[in-house]
Amino acid sequence: MNPKPYANTRPLGCEIAMPELENINSARYWDRRFASGDWQAKGGPSQTARFAKSQVPKLQLSKTFDGTLVDFGCGTGDAFPIYRNAYPNARLVGIDFSSEAIRLCRAKYHGLGEFIRGDSASVPDCNVVIVSNVLEHLTNDTIVVDELLKRCQRLFIVVPYEERELCEEHVRTYDYRAFSDFPVKRREIFASKGWSEFGLANVFGIQLGNLIRGAAGLPPRRRRLQIMFEIRGMLSPGLPA
């Protein structure tokens, strides 16, 4: 993809302190990131919670939803209080291939859901899978999507939208046409808490800042956004929804 002349800064929490770790697609990488406290020190847990607050209204599930919702790549489980509050009757399942992530999920949120150490093959048949801010870290993203679609009715993918200067851990960027080989039902580009600039950061950093940058002949800085894809899963609607 050709980078456009946007001058984005790095998103919060993306400067990692472990450059010696090479394979960011490995469970070992994530185990060490969680066990070292780097994820926590960079605000990972609160970022996950803010992501979930922005995403839940977009799922279009009712408060009475009593099916199964799987959070794939759930990290330290910090979306679960938000899911539980939104869907008191749902079965909530968190899956992550990092054993350290799952240990922390169980320690913090054991009453809120089930937590399973595993990859896409461990996802139980379910109504909904959410994959929040995971796929941009993966070299095999479409293989994972294929696997997830076999196991659910609806798949929600949320990733950074047209990220220009890739955050250190990210290996790919997505635009509106991404996943067009799959049966995408809905796409939504949105400002997300935990990623996008809001309030003064938006007014001064982006809007007024761009007036000044424009006057100085500098390229504009674009507000960071995310995109959600809803993709039709292969499970027929026999499951409770």
Binding residues (CB under 6 A) for ligand SAM: these are 30, 47-48, 51, 73-75, 96-98, 101, 119, 132-134, 137-138, 144
Identify which of residues 73 and 113 has a Cβ nearer to ligand SAM in the complex. Answer: 73
**CB of residue 210 vs ligand SAM: minimum separation in angstroms?**
28
**CB of residue 187 vs ligand SAM: minimum separation in angstroms?**
18
* DSSP-assigned beta bridge partners for residue 71: 94, 130
Cβ 83 vs Cβ 111: under 8 Å? no
**CB of residue 179 vs ligand SAM: minimum separation in angstroms?**
17
Identify which of residues 117 and 223 has a Cβ nearer to ligand SAM in the complex. Answer: 117
**CB of residue 189 vs ligand SAM: minimum separation in angstroms?**
17
**CB of residue 204 vs ligand SAM: minimum separation in angstroms?**
27
**CB of residue 230 vs ligand SAM: minimum separation in angstroms?**
17
**Interstrand relation of 91-96 and 114-117 (parallel, antiparallel or unpaired):** parallel
The closest residue (CB) to ligand SAM is: 73
Identify which of residues 87 and 209 has a Cβ nearer to ligand SAM in the complex. Answer: 87
Identify which of residues 137 and 151 has a Cβ nearer to ligand SAM in the complex. Answer: 137
- DSSP string covering the chain: -PPPS--PPPPTT---S-TT---TTSHHHHHHHHHTTHHHHTTHHHHHHHHHHHHHHHH---TT--SEEEEET-TT-TTHHHHHHH-TTSEEEEEES-HHHHHHHHHHHTTT-EEEE--GGGPPSEEEEEEES-GGG-TTHHHHHHHHHTTEEEEEEEEEBS-SS--TT----B-TTTTTTS-EEEEEEE--TTTS--HHIIIIIIIIHHHHHHHTTPPPPPPP-EEEEEEE-SS-TTS--
**CB of residue 175 vs ligand SAM: minimum separation in angstroms?**
20
R_g (Cα) of the chain, nearest Å: 18
Identify which of residues 27 and 184 has a Cβ nearer to ligand SAM in the complex. Answer: 27
Identify which of residues 7 and 24 has a Cβ nearer to ligand SAM in the complex. Answer: 24
Identify which of residues 182 and 220 has a Cβ nearer to ligand SAM in the complex. Answer: 182
